[in-house]
Chain A
């Protein structure tokens, strides 16, 4: 299998799994622990936002590492 397909497939699967995990964490764990409505909403928002920022930072870093290099073997 091509290297790009391997790396991007793994990235897609990890993104999918982490999406499932973050929804489950917020909706089950956080909402079970906290009873105050506004605090639950706030913490939920913070966790979702943190996930988006972390995913963005990781993805851009990975892309920069590979895509800023010119293609090899231009032949």
Chain B
């Protein structure tokens, strides 16, 4: 029922909306802040907005479980995967982990999903992705080869594109809406209920992270949201829809890793892909050995521009991918 979906999303949204400023205040009080490097004066902004997103999604997930007890295996898998990712992220927010260590740790976010599959094989089904035009496939070898990336992949590519105010919550919100459409079309409102906590949390959180941000997501935020999307896609067999919805994130991840030759923290890279000009417009780096990224490509194609214009372009590309993902959902027989 749509009323259940709306109730869960509303709880998550309101919790996120009211909890975020309190958490931002607390983070500032403990001096857990980071400079917003693309703004004049590099103001210090409260960090680890993932705490607010988790605060919103957890109670909403519990309500979703109360409203749909049959969802237990899938809710548990999603919540456990996202809490695992959040834990990795919050540790990284306070004590920086290396890129390789962090990425390796995120592979473990799959463990709760696999555990749910082992305990409830009829309800958490692996290797049967829903694909447009063809319906439910039976994939064995390729699926199991790619499975370690099913949750870690979205978590890391979303983390890599979390570079400007509002881009992470806005692009993942549109992806979550596309997944909701897919879940509804293939499993009704009960399946769509699994995504209501995330959709609501992002709607409630976005006003505080949008430009000019009053809280930054941190790895705790981007890894949590990415793991949530990845785990939801796996338990709903909507991997193809998630893949399409996250195309800009994947393109950015491929550009960064392809240009630096693997996984590296930004501190380990030779230069930054973009430069901040004296008038605070952003420009593509003049350093030929600096890594490539989607943002650098945008700036190279359009020339220097203010941060807000870059954000608009990234959000529009996310919206296009999510639209195609929603179309994909309608193409699944």
Interface residues in B181-221 (C-beta closer than 8 Å to A):
none
Q: How far is the CA of A69 from the CA of B259 in the complex (A)?
A: 14
- Given A44-B142, A45-B142, A56-B258, are A19 and B243 neighbors across the interface (CB < 8 Å)? yes
For residue B286, CB closer than 8 A to chain A, the reply is yes
Residue from the list A12, A24, A56 in contact with B254, Cβ < 8 A: A56
**Are A71 and B137 interface neighbours, CB within 8 A?**
no
Q: How far is the CA of A8 from the CA of B142 in the complex (A)?
A: 28
Contacts of B3 in A (CB 8 A): none
Q: How far is the CA of A20 from the CA of B303 in the complex (A)?
A: 33
Segment of B47-55, B59-67, B99-107, B127-135 engaged in the interface with chain A: B127-135
- Given A56-B254, A60-B255, are A71 and B297 neighbors across the interface (CB < 8 Å)? no
Residue from the list A11, A23, A41, A64 in contact with B141, Cβ < 8 A: A41
Residue from the list A15, A16, A27, A71 in contact with B284, Cβ < 8 A: A71
For residue B316, CB closer than 8 A to chain A, the reply is yes
Residue from the list B134, B301, B317 in contact with A27, Cβ < 8 A: B134
For residue A73, CB closer than 8 A to chain B, the reply is yes
- Name the interface size band of chain A: 35 or more
**Nearest chain-B residue to A27 (Cβ)?**
B134
Q: Give 1 or 0 for each of A3-27: 1 = CB within 8 Å of chain B CB.
A: 1110111011101100110011001
**Are A12 and B303 interface neighbours, CB within 8 A?**
no
Contacts of A4 in B (CB 8 A): 297-299, 301-302, 313
For residue A36, CB closer than 8 A to chain B, the reply is no
Which of B137, B259, B303 neighbours the largest number of chain A CB atoms within 10 Å of its CB? B303
- Given A56-B258, A67-B284, A74-B277, are A5 and B317 neighbors across the interface (CB < 8 Å)? yes
Interface residues in B271-293 (C-beta closer than 8 Å to A):
273, 277, 283-286, 288, 292
**Are B304 and A74 interface neighbours, CB within 8 A?**
yes
Segment of B36-44, B82-90, B226-234, B244-252 engaged in the interface with chain A: B244-252
- Given A9-B317, A44-B142, A59-B254, are A16 and B244 neighbors across the interface (CB < 8 Å)? yes
Q: How far is the CA of A12 from the CA of B255 in the complex (A)?
A: 14
Measured CB to CB, the closest approach of chain A to B310, in angstroms, equals 9
Residue from the list A2, A44, A48, A63 in contact with B292, Cβ < 8 A: A63
**Are B141 and A67 interface neighbours, CB within 8 A?**
no
Q: How far is the CA of A44 from the CA of B134 in the complex (A)?
A: 15
For residue A72, CB closer than 8 A to chain B, the reply is yes
**Nearest chain-A residue to B131 (Cβ)?**
A23
**Nearest chain-A residue to B283 (Cβ)?**
A71
For residue B324, CB closer than 8 A to chain A, the reply is yes
**Nearest chain-B residue to A64 (Cβ)?**
B292
For residue B74, CB closer than 8 A to chain A, the reply is no
Q: How far is the CA of A19 from the CA of B240 in the complex (A)?
A: 9
**Are A19 and B258 interface neighbours, CB within 8 A?**
no
Measured CB to CB, the closest approach of chain A to B225, in angstroms, equals 21
A-B contact pairs, 9 of them (CB 8 A): A2-B313, A8-B297, A15-B247, A19-B240, A27-B134, A60-B255, A68-B288, A70-B286, A71-B299
B residues in contact (CB < 8 Å) with A? 131-134, 137, 140-142, 240, 243-244, 247-248, 251, 254-255, 258-259, 273, 277, 283-286, 288, 292, 294, 296-304, 313, 316-317, 320-321, 324, 328, 331
User: 5 shortest A-B CB distances, which residue pairs?
Assistant: A4-B301, A4-B298, A71-B283, A71-B284, A70-B286
